[in-house]
Amino acid sequence: MNKPLHGVRVLEMGQLIAGPFAAKMLAEFGAEVIKIEPPGTGDPLRKWRLLHEGTSVWWAAQSRNKQSVTLDLRTPEGQDVIRTLVNECDVLIENFRPGAMEGWGLGWDTLHKINPRLVMLRVSGYGQDGPYRDRPGFGVVGEAMGGLRHLSGEPGRTPVRVGVSIGDSLSALHGVIGILLALRHRDQNGGDGQMIDVALYESVFNMMESLLPEYSVFGTVREPAGSSLPGIAPTNAYQCSDGKYVLIAGNGDGIFRRLMDVIERPDLRDDLALAQNDGRVKQVQRLDAAIGEWSSQHTLEQALFALNGAGIPAGRIYDIADIAADPHYKARNMLLDAKLDDGTPVKLPGIIPKLSATPGEVRHQAPKLGQHTDQVLAGIGIDSATRDEWRQRGII
């Protein structure tokens, strides 16, 4: 059975994370993705984090299922190639600073005239308009402006980074949603494509739950809360006798009562003032102290055995070694076996979401730089002599 995006052709002009992550997801579900990279250097992600034989192992995850074409977008020839490819593509993804594509003669108005059916995803720090549009904006800045950085860390200490480039990834996910909506609209309502404007800070802000309405109604500025969940109790990380931490979410009314049975505190279970969440929030320090006293008398494994047995949401804090060894990850095909270019085995993240009839798949490994340049350019009528000349001039 064909994959959901079989027949959809995507031109990826982004670099690093936000744009390429969106294209990765489309490729996993059947889209043909042609990735444009600068000649000689390629996508900077090829040199990020830990390298094997000169190439980031991150590249193997981020660029699987894609084709690599090298092209200097600053040259008239490179720009002409893009205009030709656009006429044969359904989707174009870019995450350059606003105005860059226009400077190359590849702005939305131009491309839409070439191919009215084109869907164009534009990811940037602040969006395509507004007073900040021209500022450089990486994920870390978007995370701060979106409100996430202020909430990260311990009370009274310097706000910390989440640990991964979550702003970029959230923007990619919003971009994928936008692409699918635009394709649906195009195919159902007259055939015209549209431009999708995704800002890093807005993608983060969209995840900020009750932050704005609480400020609007109560004037409350939510502050960092460490491992607890403000306004919902009890939910926290509690240290065990072996120095490890158990995460316990006892915030449902019935769950709370079962939790109090586990820690042998019937007085708290039967206290009417603690029957519902609003009452428990007022006494959250008292509850955390009681749970912490219990956890300090048990190892992590003992605590989890008791909590899971009572139907209480609880878990450990995983590092990547825990993830790689976890049987549930393996059973759910979230640890895929793959190989790097030289045959070195590598584990890569599995594919989500999991569709029952048309699941995503890895069709081929991440490409070498320019691996598909000749194939793609020949497909649009650029002969070998022209390609040789362009190589000598550094255009491809």
Q: Are 248 and 236 in contact (CB under 8 A)?
A: yes
Task: Assess whether the previous peptide bond of 353 is cis (omega < 30° from 0).
Answer: yes
- pLDDT of 332 reads 97
pLDDT in tens, the chain (396 residues): 789 999 999 999 989 999 999 999 999 999 999 999 999 999 999 999 999 999 999 999 999 999 999 999 999 999 999 999 999 999 999 999 999 999 999 999 999 999 999 999 999 999 999 999 999 888 889 999 999 999 999 999 999 989 999 999 999 999 999 999 999 999 998 889 999 999 999 999 999 999 999 999 999 999 999 999 889 999 999 999 999 999 999 989 999 999 999 999 999 999 999 999 999 999 999 999 999 999 999 999 999 999 999 999 999 999 999 999 999 999 999 999 999 999 999 999 999 999 999 999 999 999 999 999 999 999 999 999 999 999 999 999
Q: What is the DSSP letter of 231?
A: T
pTM: 0.93
Q: Are 125 and 131 in contact (CB under 8 A)?
A: no
CA distance 181 to 143: 25
**CA 375 remoteness from chain centre:** 30
- pLDDT of 190 reads 83
- pLDDT of 313 reads 97
Tokens 């990850």 label which residue?
329
Beta-strand relationship, 119-124 and 195-199 = parallel
Of the residues 43, 72, 90, 168, which is catalytic?
A: 168
Q: List pLDDT tens digits, range 304-317.
A: 999 999 999 999 99
**CA 39 remoteness from chain centre:** 27
Planar angle of CA 12, 18, 204, nearest 5 degrees: 150
- pLDDT of 21 reads 98
Q: List pLDDT tens digits, range 363-393.
A: 999 999 999 999 999 999 999 999 999 999 9
> Given strand 314-316, what is the order of strands in its sheet?
235-239, 245-249, 314-316
- pLDDT of 138 reads 85
**Is 374 one of the annotated active-site residues of the chain?**
no
- pLDDT of 107 reads 97
| Residue 102, token pair as written in the block | 């226009």
What domains sit in the chain, N to C, each tagged with a CATH number? 9-206+331-393 (3.40.50.10540), 235-316 (3.30.1540.10)
